[in-house]
Amino acid sequence: MHDERDDPPVHLSASDGTQVLRGAPDRDPPTGLRAALRALRPLVGSRAIDAAGSATPLERFANAGDPPAVASCTMLEPVGVDRAMPLDQAPGISAFLDGIQRSRILGHLDGSPIIFATVAAVVRVREARRLMTWDEPRVRHLVLAAREHLGEPAWAALDATGVVPIDVTESGTLPLHPLAVRARALELVAQERETLERRLAAEWCHTESRWLWIDGGISGNLAIDADAPAFGVVKSHGTLYGDPQALRATLGLAVGERGPLFIVQHKARRGVASWYLRMHPSDDGDPLHGLVRVEVAPPTTLFRPDDAARAHPDVDAVRALADRADTISAWMLAERAPIALPDPRWDTLTYGVYACEQFLKALIGT
């Protein structure tokens, strides 16, 4: 099992556009939760350590994300011309990628939490109708604390245990509140999970020609270009894209229909080409049931360099992109069985991604 602990955390931008944590350690931390618990027992006390060993992961207590929103986008196809995809297409997707994170409090020093986290990512590839692990899963263990809150003597004592702590206040001051430390730590843990996922996706695209389904968006991975055999699938819809007419059409998509292509332009990340697809019907009329949003990297020829307003997309480039969207959508619909039950997200969660999650849970524990 590969452990990427020798790839130290920094807050710099890598060539593939990923962000990794600051504070490169000069030695390896203890591997795994049990090793961290043993190392910290003399510092935070046996009672706290015993409780931490069976504590609920912090991700289950995380606050909800941003409030629901509607965002503008640049339409590439006319609204109202929804395309019905074939439901009997042979599978064309060979592999699935997903990541996981688990964080828990190991104890407190002077009222400030010490947090242990594990992040992991894996690609599962289909071989002879069975899912196998491609290359090796990526796993990292992190210990996070607020140096500013602990003070130098306590930080030195923590560092002396060998856990190689990461300072969550290095990127900015935090209020002297335990929940603020927890929230910042979860942000950094999520960044590290995304980093593992992006690097694994980039490695696949650099070495494979088979198609990869990535759970989540791809805007942050500059290594996935228009020729890469990969696409991202966004299952949650905190933000919906389009004007009122486009949104009504999206929410009214029938099973097997895809909506028109559009460009999502992120503030801090590159733009992606995207479309909505209805995977499963809704018995109770929920307009988001079975609805996913697919992302691919747009071709560089989509707009002329002098078309700053993106008012006139190239017709041939849009047509080629639409053909790719049709192909990917048909492949995705072919992945609707087996259903990913008993997961409550089964309507938007393909079984291949579900299998990745189950593999990673078994690997790092729940």
- Residue-wise pLDDT for 264-313, tens only, equals 987 656 789 999 999 999 878 899 999 999 999 999 888 766 666 566 78
Q: Which residue has the tokens 């990541």?
A: 99
Global pTM reads: 0.86
Fill in the amino acid letter for 168.
V
Count of CB atoms situated within 10 Å of the CB of 364: 18
Distance CA 19, CA 94 (A): 28
Count of CB atoms situated within 10 Å of the CB of 176: 13
pLDDT of residue 98: 98
27 has pLDDT over 80 = no
- Contact between 116 and 192 under an 8 Å Cβ cutoff? The reply is no
Q: Which residue has the tokens 């990913």?
A: 340
Classify residue 226 by burial, with Cβ atoms within 10 Å: 0-12, 13-18, 19+: middle
Q: What is the pLDDT of residues 169-183, one digit of tens each?
A: 998 889 999 999 999
- Of 226, 223, 240, 316, the residue nearest 272 (C-alpha): 226
For residues 198-225, give the mean pLDDT. Answer: 94
Region of 128 on the Ramachandran plot (φ > 0 left; ψ -120 to 50 alpha; else beta): left
pLDDT of residue 221: 87
User: Which residues, 6+ apart, have CB-to-CB distance to 240 below 8 Å?
Assistant: 68, 69, 70, 71, 247, 250
pLDDT of residue 306: 61
Q: Return the structure tokens found at 29.
A: 């931390």
For residues 116-135, give the mean pLDDT. Answer: 94
- Candidate from 59-63, 145-149, 194-198, 240-244 with smallest mean pLDDT: 59-63
The residue ranges of every structural domain in the chain are 33-364
3-state SS, one letter per residue, for 181-214: HHHHHHHHHHHHHHHHHHHHHHHHHHHCCCEEEE
Distance CA 258, CA 292 (A): 10
Q: Which residue has the tokens 């910290």?
A: 40
What confidence category does residue 11 fall into, taking pLDDT thresholds of 50, 70 and 90?
A: very low
